[in-house]
Amino acid sequence: SVPWVRAVAVLPGTGRCYSLCCLPAEVAVEDREKFLLDFVEDNEVLRLGDMSIRLNLQAGIYRLTGGDQEPFIHMLSAADIAYNEIQGTAAVVGVYDESLQQGLRVRKQIEDCMEQALRDQEFQVWCQPKYDIRTHRLTGAEALVRWHSSVMGDLMPGTFIDVFEHNGFILRFDYYMLEKICQLQRQRLNDGQKIVPISVNQSRLHIKEENYLDKMQRIADRYKLPAGCVELELTETAFGDFEQSEQRGHAVHVIKELKKMGYSISMDDFGSGYSSLALLQTLPMDIMKIDRSMLVSAEESPRAKSILRNIVDLGQRLDMEVICEGIETPEQEKFLLELGCRYGQGYLYARPMPMQKFADFIENQGETPV
Ligand code: C2E
Ligand code: MG
Ligand code: MG
């Protein structure tokens, strides 16, 4: 019932072939989306002779704004941006808006600047202390990056880590952070100063990276730090499709080898995904780092509280060090103490601080005033 025009076009430079539908603007938004959903459904199965192939079709919608003066390539690119946004998700239809275009501009700028930034040491290592929440004594820290870009100003990791993961730059970047922490620990040991274990985040891409273990061994050999001085934080998404036994076996191998080299292994953001328990069963991790979202939910719902209590207990029974991240209030601390959680990290104790400031902080015992 919706009038439409159909054509096929190729977007230059992408090699992608598109099926185009142009719908009059007066068609209501719901009808437009319904039309596309029906279209996708009708064309989902491709028949070639006796064979039928199931296709994963997705569509991007762009609403014409520039009247008949708008270049065709612009319309096509905008629909393509909307389509790209839903790739890898279960959504069938994505709708373009200006913020998507803005997001792409930022992404491009980040990519243009990142190599030079690494050479110019624009990435600064900050450290956030970790505490024993029963005694308020400093027990360690997590290294977190801050980017002081000469072009874009100060950036938080939430703005650029995803971009680095997307284009693979994160691999080199993570080694840079790891080396900075190893240098700090080695220097302090040489100078006879006190040290605490410091964790660095490791992107999920390392698990599949060629020569990951060789590179990590070389770093371990170069700094010769006592075991446990450096921890690696990996999120559960690092282990990808854990259902497949080959991948599972590989992940177990990687973890065991890293431990032999003296790195402790921490499961970051525990409880934020869906496969946490399966991973616990198989991977010999040393530390369970409970995601802030679990803490927040547990404060609100008795069921979530019961789950958190049992998770803390489970971690301890598995001989893991259990730490909760994102503790902001004394009430949360009290709550965690009741649940038997021993370690914590969060704004209540200390915010992330530049690495050098953290080095001074250790000297003063780093005891929190709370
Ligand atoms: P993460 O590893 O889970 O780090 C904890 C994040 O929680 C940090 O955010 C930290 O500043 C924040 N945080 C700490 N205490 C509190 C609190 O009490 N309340 C709240 N609301 N937040 C708190 P940040 O520094 O923005 O880092 C975000 C994420 O970026 C990190 O999450 C980590 O996944 C990633 N990231 C940071 N540095 C690196 C890095 O060097 N390599 C990699 N691969 N990822 C990194
Ligand atoms: Mg982390
Ligand atoms: Mg975390």
* Residue pair 61/36 in contact by the 8 Å Cβ criterion: yes
Atom of ligand 1 nearest to the CA of 291: 3
Probe target for ligand 1 pocket from 201, 202, 269, 293, with the most ligand atoms within 8 Å of CB: 201
CA distance 370 to 359: 21
Rounded (5°) CA angle 10-12-16:
45
Give the number of the ligand closest to the Cα of residue 157: 1
CA distance 362 to 59: 54
CA distance 148 to 116: 12
* Whether residue 203 has its Cβ less than 6 Å from ligand 1: yes
CA distance 77 to 12: 10
Q: How far is the CA of 351 from the centre of ligand 1 (A)?
A: 11
Q: Residue 278: how many CB atoms within 10 A of its CB?
A: 14
Q: Which residues of 193-231 are buried (b: 16+ CB within 10 A; e: fewer)?
A: eebbbbbbbbbbbbbebeebbeebeebbeebebeeebbb
Residue nearest to atom 38 of ligand 1 (CA): 144
Q: How far is the CA of 355 from the centre of ligand 1 (A)?
A: 15
Q: What is the DSSP string of 30-88?
A: HHHHHHHHHHHHHTSEEEETTEEEE----EEE----SGGGS-HHHHHHHHHHHHHHHTT
Q: How many residues does the chain have?
A: 370
Cβ neighbourhood burial of 156 (10 Å; 0-12, 13-18, 19+): exposed
Q: Comparing C-alpha atoms, which of 263, 238, 256 is closest to residue 181?
A: 263
Residues with C-beta atoms within 5 A of ion ligand 2: 201, 233, 268
CA distance 295 to 271: 10
Residue nearest to atom 12 of ligand 1 (CA): 326
pLDDT in the model for residue 3: 54
CA distance 279 to 236: 7
pLDDT in the model for residue 369: 47
This prediction has a pTM of 0.84
Phi, psi values for residue 195, rounded to 5°: -130, 155
* Whether residue 128 has its Cβ less than 6 Å from ligand 1: yes
* Whether residue 347 has its Cβ less than 6 Å from ligand 1: yes
Atom of ligand 1 nearest to the CA of 347: 18
Amino acid in position 115 = E
Task: Say which residues have a Cβ less than 8 Å from residue 349's Cβ, sequence separation at least 6.
Answer: 129, 131, 136, 327, 368, 370
pLDDT in tens, the chain (370 residues): 455 656 666 666 666 667 777 777 777 777 877 877 787 788 778 788 888 887 777 888 888 776 677 777 778 888 888 888 888 788 888 888 888 888 888 999 999 999 999 999 999 999 999 999 999 999 999 999 999 999 999 999 999 999 999 899 999 999 999 999 999 999 999 999 999 999 999 999 999 999 999 999 999 999 999 999 999 999 887 776 666 777 888 989 999 999 999 999 999 999 887 767 888 888 899 999 999 999 999 999 999 999 999 999 999 999 999 999 999 999 999 999 999 999 999 999 999 999 999 999 998 865 554 4
CA distance 361 to 221: 28
Find where tokens 């994102």 sit: 326
Q: Using alpha carbons only, how large is the chain's radius of gyration in Å? A: 25
* Residue pair 349/129 in contact by the 8 Å Cβ criterion: yes
Give the number of the ligand closest to the Cα of residue 346: 1
